[in-house]
Every structure is written in C-alpha cells, then in structure tokens.
Chain A
Amino acid sequence: RKEVEQDPGPFNVPEGATVAFNCTYSNSASQSFFWYRQDCRKEPKLLMSVYSSGNEDGRFTAQLNRASQYISLLIRDSKLSDSATYLCVVNMDYGGSQGNLIFGKGTKLSVKP
C-alpha cells in the first residue's frame, strides 16, 4: 500500500459546485495532516492543517478519520480561482525518520464558468 494515496482526477466542476477530495494514508501512527494547494508551475502552499475534530476555513472543510486512515477536503461554492492541484500531506514517524512529511501526488481540480 502506498504511503499517501489520492485520486489524481481531474475533477472538472462548474462554478458554485461542491467538491470533495479524499486521501488515504498507510501509517496509523501519523500525527500531522495537511492540505496544500499547488498552482501550475508554482510552489506548494499550505491550505490548511487538519485537526482531529475537523476544521473549517471559509469555504474549505477538512476532516480526519483515524480509524479508517483517511482525510478529506470539501470545497463549497467553487470559484474559478480554486482551480489547482491539491496535495494531501501526512507525517510518517517511523522513529528514525523523525517525522518526514509524505506528499501525495495530488488531485487536480478544474473549475469551469
């Protein structure tokens, strides 16, 4: 099983739509979870951290399910500017590796007018 898996998409949605991305991770000892956004030919930028109780930032909601080892990102009322690749990021603490972050390959979102 790959360490962090995401549906690569692309997800093509109209403006105003609600879209959800899921991500699964393999290490049950993982403690930190993040969603990053990466625009074409740009650097990844932190979108939000994911907390155990779930958290919301405006139109974005992140949830964590430790029992099933997946995290999700929900985007409501999609905007054209949301078009990007969304990276799921999980820390993998195998003791010696001291908590390396493992990046998923990303899910591409395209929001159309």
Chain B
Amino acid sequence: DAGITQSPRHKVTETGTPVTLRCHQTENHRYMYWYRQDPGHGLRLIHYSYGVKDTDKGEVSDGYSVSRSKTEDFLLTLESATSSQTSVYFCAISEYRANQPQHFGDGTRLSIL
C-alpha cells in the first residue's frame, strides 16, 4: 500500500472553529490532492498541489485552504467550519498528473455540530 497517513482519523468539532487535517506521504510523489466524499456525490476535488508551495483549486474549494511546505505534507484547513463541511475527507497522491491513477489515504471522518 502507498505510504499515506491522514490525521486525525476522526474529529468532532463545533461550527465556527478552525480545523486542520494533515496528509503525510512517504512516496516522494509530486502531486497531492484533497477530496471530500458525501452520500449522493462522487469524490469531489477540493484542492491539489503540484509541488512545494504550489497549489490550485478544485471543484469545491470554497471554505477551504491548503498549504504544502514540504514534499511529504499537505494540510487542509477549514478556517471556520460549517455543518455543510461534515464529510469524509480523503488525501491522495500521484507521481505524475496526467494519465496516472491516484492512491488514497485511509480518510478522515469530520463531524461539525
């Protein structure tokens, strides 16, 4: 299995609080991604990174920010969490961008009350 670790695995927090999710990889892959998965929707891309300090928005980026200060770490931040951001969040990595499958971490279950 690809060396991807997400933390925390579960989190419950209150509306309006900041939340940071961490993705750590040991594969030295250039590309890292954050997705959310909700019932009735496929996986949806939030943000992705194509290198240290290089990030871009995905389909559902509103309310989220990301940072990548090291190749191995990609952080997802909810500045002021809302109930609509209750979801399962997956981090993924790939060596190249085009024509490559992505490999996923175990996911973070986030509940915002």
Contact = CB atoms under 8 A, between A and B. Distances in A.
Interface of A: 4, 31-32, 34, 36, 42-46, 49, 87, 89, 91, 93, 98-106
Contacts of B43: 44, 87, 103
Contacts of B56: 98
A87 B104 CA distance: 13
B99 A106 contact: no
Interface string B68-111: 00000000000000000000001000000111111111110000
The secondary-structure label for the interface of chain B is loop
Nearest to B102: A101
A99 B90 contact: no
Interface of B: 35, 40-45, 48, 56, 58-59, 90, 97-107
A103 B101 CA distance: 12
Nearest to B4: A43
17 contacts: A31-B99, A32-B100, A42-B107, A43-B90, A43-B105, A44-B90, A46-B103, A93-B98, A98-B97, A98-B98, A99-B98, A100-B45, A100-B59, A101-B45, A101-B102, A103-B43, A103-B44
A34 B97 contact: no
Nearest to B94: A101
A45 B99 contact: no
A43 B98 contact: no
Q: Which 6 A/B pairs are nearest by Cβ-Cβ distance?
A: A103-B42, A103-B43, A43-B104, A32-B99, A99-B98, A105-B42
Judged by DSSP, the binding face of A is strand
A91 B107 contact: no
A48 B56 CA distance: 27
A9 to B, nearest CB: 14
Contacts of B98: 31-32, 91, 93, 98-99
B101 A34 contact: yes
